[in-house]
Amino acid sequence: MRASISDVAKKSGVSVATVSRSFTRPELVSQITRAKVLKAAESLNFAVSRAPGTLKSGQSLRIALLIGSADIEWFTAGIMSGLNAVLRKEGYDLVLYPIDSLETRKDFFTDLPLRRNADAVIVSSFDILPEEVARLKTMNIPIVGINVSSPSGFSASVSIDDNTGIGLAVRHLYTLGHTNIMYILESFGSSLSFSSQHRVTGFIKACQDLGIQHRVLQVDDGDTCINVAMTALLEQQRKPTALCFHQDSLAVPFLYQMRKYGMGVPSDISITGFDDSTFAEEVGLTTVRQDPKALGTITAGKTLALIRGEHIDKAHETIPVELMLRHTTAQA
């Protein structure tokens, strides 16, 4: 259990009011007394940067959300919507921390435990290192993962199964007679290990299990994904009859450019995406659906339960994905 202001008062031998004044009105407390209070607070891992109204409970009413990008794209927006729908009702603020470089990553895992200004940390879609987990655990707060590769080190987690998801798409294409499939993704351009990388290994395994000819095309950061993909597609002697895109945000613009190359979807080539994100339904994209808002809602419930010290029957939970059959796939 986390230390409260009463614990600090008892250890430092002063009243609760004196501890409160040491943090909120230090000019009213002698330097000797305040030093004694701060020393006791540090030894108990009590958060010295609490807002005045939350000192008594020892909580900041803030929850840190770590994301692996400086941009708030479709998935993160959905996660935040789900989290806030639950957390705001309980009086919690969600604080966003973009971890988009080695420097910001180092700063976060160094500074947050020292500031102790969050009641829980939620990590979305990328893995944190064992030493980073250990650093956060010095705060004695829950560490919860969303779509992380492994639940190891996390107090709780909520994830989809990327392997199962991409396997659904591959088997669907195989059933339609496609035996030569290309997988297309953009380079992650980051030192972080993202859970969606399992889609690539899942694609390869599914194709190998079915005896399907396959190729993975990774487009470097800064390149025009569509042009690179089309060039690679046209260069092959035995062209693939289907394309699996790592995410809808690559597949949707590709659809609009196909006419420039004199190709039709699905008449000339079948296409699948992953996410069921913005515009996927409008353009009729066959894709694998995940619901980030639902992931956020479930995660918020687990996080609040952990903060309250409650037992969670299913700490690590896998949410099913669904293949959305639309108009971009057809018989080979």
- Tokens read off for 154: 């996390």
Residues of the chain with CATH 3.40.50.2300: 62-160+293-319, 162-290
For 124-197, where are the alpha helices, taking DSSP H only? 130-137, 162-175
Structural class in CATH, domain 162-290: alpha beta
Q: For residue 56, what pLDDT is reported? A: 44
Residues of the chain with CATH 1.10.260: 5-54
Q: For residue 126, what pLDDT is reported? A: 78
Global model pTM greater than 0.75: yes
Crossing angle (nearest 10°) for helices 162-175 and 198-210: 40
Its sign, for the CA torsion 320, 271, 229, 255, is: negative
**What is the number of other CB atoms lying within 10 angstroms of the CB of residue 264?**
10
Collect all residues with Cβ–Cβ distance below 8 Å to 17 and sequence separation of at least 6.
none
Task: Give the pLDDT confidence of 36-51 residue by residue, as tens digits.
Answer: 988 888 888 776 544 4
Task: Give the pLDDT confidence of 93-134 residue by residue, as tens digits.
Answer: 999 988 877 778 777 777 765 556 788 999 998 777 778 877
Rounded Cα distance, 315 and 61, in Å: 22
Rounded Cα distance, 217 and 233, in Å: 10
pLDDT < 70 positions in the chain: 1-2, 24, 47-60, 112-116, 188-193, 221-225
For the chain, where are the alpha helices, taking DSSP H only? 5-12, 16-24, 31-43, 74-87, 102-115, 130-137, 162-175, 198-210, 225-235, 248-257, 292-307
Q: For residue 187, what pLDDT is reported? A: 77
Collect all residues with Cβ–Cβ distance below 8 Å to 236 and sequence separation of at least 6.
215
Q: For residue 55, what pLDDT is reported? A: 44
> What CATH fold (topology level) applies to the domain 62-160+293-319?
Rossmann fold (3.40.50)
Q: For residue 15, what pLDDT is reported? A: 86
**What is the number of other CB atoms lying within 10 angstroms of the CB of residue 149?**
17
> What CATH fold (topology level) applies to the domain 5-54?
434 Repressor (Amino-terminal Domain) (1.10.260)
